[in-house]
Chains A and B, each alone.
Chain A
């Protein structure tokens, strides 16, 4: 637990992590402001008749449709979790702090587990916190211009479930990033690999072999986030299979990274 807490404190002191949080907070404030300005002067009926407004709490998330304003931030949280994880793990190699820490804790697997665990816990907590801030930023427009109709116990429960699920996927993104950056000992490698895979490789598979689409990261992340079967995927699974698929992928990559960290020499800082 000591090591986990230490690693979390170290991660929170990384400038990139703080910058990502600051950017997200600014984004939340901007979203709140836009929501307020867009809903100002309109009646609730007009807002309902429109394309949807965060000034109406019922538009934050619809459990029936598996969509709502909360889903706007999901993609950014996934990316943020990935960037944060890659930066934290890559910076340790670049700065040489890995050597310093290993002279204190020579059990590499324990250290790696603490590092992965801390990335997951932090990503989950930050993601959950940011989603709350995101929704709270809409409150002025709800109170002054909109409506809180539909905000009952079930609605809040559904909202909490979505937020937990999104946070879990953000945590998975962070674990993926830490694993890739640990294996390559480099932040850039992790980021380039993810984007090459998601954009190029999965794009090619989707167009050349659509029957495999259901096994791609992109589809499974989207299915797990919305917790609904994707309509436009040739072989789509239900959310449980999607989540399980992601867990398997993640376990393989994290296991490979742990094995690499355990076996390879710790070189000088780059």
Chain B
């Protein structure tokens, strides 16, 4: 499988008063062609800086980046024609309509007005295409930014937090759109801290903390590598009765929504069914309590979140 993005030993540091701030510290990352690749990390973990380096907006302190087989920044000129990108909030001219803004961008690469209309339809903005951008909501601006990124019909879409400011319906639309774009054969590289968005959309993920890669792989692999909790989830008809029965049988049990979480390794789930059956309760569903991507994310980044939220690790201060 070809890699569309290859990052090797990337380091990016900034000189600040009193020391050096390391934003990315020896990052190695390969994004394979096709599918949606989620790039996760707490605030300040270096996601946007990595994207900025990959797009030539920031110069790495050390390391090498290749995008679509071209070295960055030297080969970015050729690669840029095949990349659509949104970095942070898409910034467009507020005194122009959405259509005018897109036509202006399109003119840079000699893209015709028909393509502008096509991408406006793809992001669902055809009806509002002639409204001034200053009248757009944040969600509409995000969709317009996405339309701009799609103008070049890119092989690689690099989207930095594309769901920012979107309502749940908008998020779902973007999720479905990203999936559709990936199913069409594009590679979608998306950074986000909205885990539900990533888990349900991405084929592969990488988790970043304090400028370092902490794990990567398919979503299923990343979750299964984290293992199971030493608990199981059980459904019974009468939850109150079930809680009482399991307490009486000396299990530690907790009611979670419409299920019971019993602290016992999954391989001993027979003990639970036996205790419930003895109390006249029939199990309707039983499964190991697996980690979600969010659990894995929090587990892997928990040691880093505090530091990351206070921005970045200070070196040499």
A contact residues vs B (CB 8 Å cutoff): 2-3, 5-6, 9-10, 13-15, 95-97, 99-107, 263, 265-266, 268-269
The 8 lowest CB-CB distance pairs between A and B, nearest first, are A96-B91, A265-B58, A266-B57, A103-B85, A106-B76, A97-B91, A106-B56, A106-B80
Contact B95 A13 (CB under 8 A): yes
Q: A2 contacts B108, CB within 8 Å? A: yes
Complex: chain B residue closest to A269, CB-CB: B91
Would you call B90 and A100 a contact (CB within 8 A)? yes
Tell me, rounded to whole Å, the shortest Cβ–Cβ distance linking A70 to chain B: 32
A265 touches B59 (CB 8 A): yes
Interface: B120 (CB within 8 A): no
Chain A nearest CB, measured from B85 CB (Å)? 4
Measured between beta carbons, the chain A residues less than 8 angstroms from B122 are none
**B93 x A10 contact (CB < 8 A):** yes
Question: Quick one: CB contact mask for B68-103 with A, threshold 8 Å, 1 for yes?
Answer: 000001001100100101111111110110000000
Beta-carbon contact of A99 and B87 below 8 Å: yes
**B107 & A6 in contact (Cβ 8 Å cutoff):** yes
B228 CB-CB contact with A under 8 Å: no
Query: Within 8 Å CB of B83, what residues of A?
Result: 103
Choose one: B55, B90, B91; the contact of A106 (CB below 8 Å): B55
B108 touches A100 (CB 8 A): no
Contact at B88–A97, with CB atoms within 8 Å? Answer: no
Contact between A6 and B80, CB atoms less than 8 A apart: no
With A2-B107, A9-B104: A100-B92 Cβ-Cβ less than 8 Å: yes
Q: Using Cβ atoms and an 8 Å threshold, which residues of chain B touch A99? A: 57, 87-88, 91
A90 to chain B, nearest CB (A): 14
The answer to whether residues A15 and B92 also contact, given A6-B108, A105-B80 and a CB cut-off of 8 A, is no
Give how many A-B residue pairs fall within 8 Å (CB-CB). 73
B223 at the interface (CB under 8 A from A): no
Q: Which of A9, A15, A103 has the most chain B CB atoms inside 10 A of its CB? A: A103
Complex Cα distance, B96 from A14, in Å, reads 10
What is the distance, in angstroms, from B250's C-beta to the closest C-beta of chain A?
56
Instruction: List 20 A–B pairs whose Cβ atoms lie within 8 Å, in order of A's numbering.
Output: A2-B110, A6-B104, A9-B104, A10-B93, A10-B104, A13-B93, A14-B95, A97-B92, A99-B88, A99-B91, A100-B87, A100-B91, A100-B145, A100-B148, A103-B86, A104-B105, A105-B108, A106-B56, A106-B80, A269-B91
Q: Is B235 at the interface (CB under 8 A from chain A)?
A: no
Is A104's CB under 8 angstroms from B108's CB?
A: yes
Q: Which residue of A lies closest to B145 (CB)?
A: A100
Residues of B within 8 A of A103 (CB): 55, 57, 80, 83, 85-87
B85: which A residues are within 8 A, CB to CB? 103
Residues on A with C-beta less than 8 A from B91 are: 95-97, 99-100, 269
Write the chain B residue with the least CB distance to A94: B91
- Closest residue on chain A to residue B85 by CB atoms: A103
**Which A residues touch B127, using CB under 8 A?**
none
CB distance from A251 to the nearest CB of B (A): 26
What are the residues of chain B within 8 A of A100 when measuring CB–CB? 87, 90-92, 105, 145, 148
Further 12 A-B residue pairs, CB within 8 A, beyond A9-B104, A10-B104? A6-B104, A6-B107, A6-B108, A100-B92, A100-B148, A103-B57, A103-B83, A105-B108, A106-B76, A107-B77, A268-B48, A269-B89
Determine whether the beta carbon of B88 is less than 8 Å from that of A3. Answer: no
What is the 8 Å Cβ interface bit string for chain B, positions 35-75, against chain A (1 contact, 0 not)?
A: 00000000000001000100111110000000000000100
Q: Does B109 contact A (CB under 8 A)?
A: yes
B104 A268 Cβ-Cβ under 8 A: no
Question: Do A265 and B52 have beta carbons less than 8 Å apart?
Answer: yes
Distance between Cα atoms of A105 and B110 in the complex (Å): 12
In the complex, A99→B145 CA distance in Å? 12
Q: Decide if A266 touches B58 in the complex (CB within 8 Å).
A: yes
* A95 CA to B73 CA, complexed, in Å: 24
A15 CA to B92 CA, complexed, in Å:
14
Q: How far is the CB of A234 from chain B (nearest CB, A)?
A: 44
Instruction: Give Cα A105 to B56, complex, Å.
Output: 10
